[in-house]
Each structure stands twice: as structure tokens, then as C-alpha cells.
Structure 1
């Protein structure tokens, strides 16, 4: 199961990168120290609601939109965690395990490849 602060941080970083903005720009606008913002983005610090609001304001993103994106990512990761995932090289394959027809054994088959 993913850690919430890591998903929030990754989502904030992705938003900032899509805007082609630097940590320094966002930290200055949000009035948050550069080091602290960096730790939030790396999932090392759990930001308060006030800090999240300031960062979202600096990124010109609604807090509700941030939470919607985080929720979507968490939902996707939880669903993937519900199915077995086997790593193959640098990618992963979703695996289904089902009873084999007529043999009493188990049949394993790859369903699809997913990004690791």
C-alpha cells in the first residue's frame, strides 16, 4: 500500500514539473523554505493542510484538484496491489491465478503488462 505523503509529494512535484517551474520559484511564492518543499515532494515530510494550501496556491492548483489526483493514484495502486504483480526486468506483469480446469491444480497466466 502506498504512503499518502509520498503520493502527495509525487503529485505536487509532477504538477510543478509540468509547469516547468523550479523548487525555488514555488517555495518563494508559497513562502515555504526550499528544503522543506523538497522534503514534501520527496515524501519525507507530511505537510499540514495550511502548507498544502500555500503550495497549491503557488502552483495555481485547487486543493480539491490535488486531492482528486492523489485519490485517483491511490485507487489505481490499491487495485494493482489487489492483484498479484510479478516483476520481469524493468516492467511488471499482472498475473491471474485460477484453478486449472479438470486438474485440481492451479493455472497461472499473464493478464497485461503494467509500468513499474
Structure 2
């Protein structure tokens, strides 16, 4: 079954996954909750390509999870802000975070290798 076929599925989990069920979308939402709002911030934080970030932001705006606001006229630059609908996703992200902290702790050797 293709992702596009799940958006009309009877299961609300399946329908939700069609919108936020990939790593880049979840990381963009994480960054929004942490205060990021600009394209370049999402690029730096997630490591995703510009094309991926652009497509995920468009999908989130189209779904009413983020709103796009112009903050610089020349050249045109937009920021992406959580809507009320988007802010309602907070408990899901908190659950992801808490589960990851408990079951997938960062090993010190991984941190040392990056530092």
C-alpha cells in the first residue's frame, strides 16, 4: 500500500502517519517547538536537503500545522510558525522524546566521538 492511499484509511494512526510519519517532518516539528522558524535553521538542524525541507514545510502549511509569514520583503523570506493545530501535536513529540530517553539513551562513546 502506498502512503497516498493511507490518507483515507479507517485508522487514525495511519492517517496521521501520512502527514508526519517521516523523520524529516518530525525533526522540523521538533525544531518548531524548540523555537526555530526559518528555513536555514531547519536545514542546519536536520541535515535534510533543501528540496526535502521545502516539500515538508509546504505539506505542513497545506495541512494547517504551520503557517508561513513573510519576515523580509527583499529577498522574500518566510518564517514558519506553529498554528493551534500544530501546537496540539506537542504531547506526541513529548512522548517520542521521553520514550527515546528511556529506551535509546545516548552512549557516552557516541558523544565523545562527535565532540
Q: Give the structure with higher Rg (CA).
A: 1
| Larger RCO: 1 or 2 (CA < 8 Å, sep 6+) | 1
Larger fraction in strand: 1
Instruction: Report the TM-score range of the alignment, normalised by the length of the smaller protein.
Output: under 0.3
Larger fraction in helix: 2
TM-score by length of 2: 0.28
TM-score by length of 1: 0.28
